[in-house]
Amino acid sequence: MQVYDTQPDATQAVIAGRAYATLGGNTTIVYAASRNPQFAADLELKETRAHWAAPVPKTNPALRKELQDTINCMKKDGTIVKMSTKWFGREPPADALERVITPGYGPPDMPGYDPTPHDLKC
């Protein structure tokens, strides 16, 4: 096992033959594979539905809601799918988080999740 400071360093180690494989977040691995024809994203752990974070101060719940509403509007109008397709070289499936608007605020079943229903105003 080897440890690299960055995912691009780990990717280059695989391409150069210094490592057999690399493990990283789905988005970084799929992006690397879309930019390096000799690199394949053979194992994606799609069932984890890993969440990425945009941290905001706990003291500013209004900002958190505004940020999530903006992202949800971008999901609703297809902007997130277009960005994902551009950067990863393939369109996300119908059940991908690039398309799915989850209820409430924050990822369900995660700390800090707020299940309060709300209408999306885009």
Q: Compute mean pLDDT per 10 residues along the chain, 122 residues long, and list them.
A: 89 90 81 85 69 76 90 95 90 89 85 87 90
pTM of the model: 0.69
Amino acid at 74: M
Return the bridge partners of 114, or none: 105
pLDDT at res. 75: 95
Whole-number Å distance between alpha carbons of 74 and 44: 24
Return the bridge partners of 105, or none: 114
Nearest to residue 25, comparing CAs of 37, 43, 3? 43
Q: For residues 40 and 46, is the Cβ–Cβ distance under 8 A?
A: no
Residue 16 CA, distance from chain mean position: 27
Half-sphere exposure of residue 72: CA atoms within 13 angstroms, side-chain side: 18
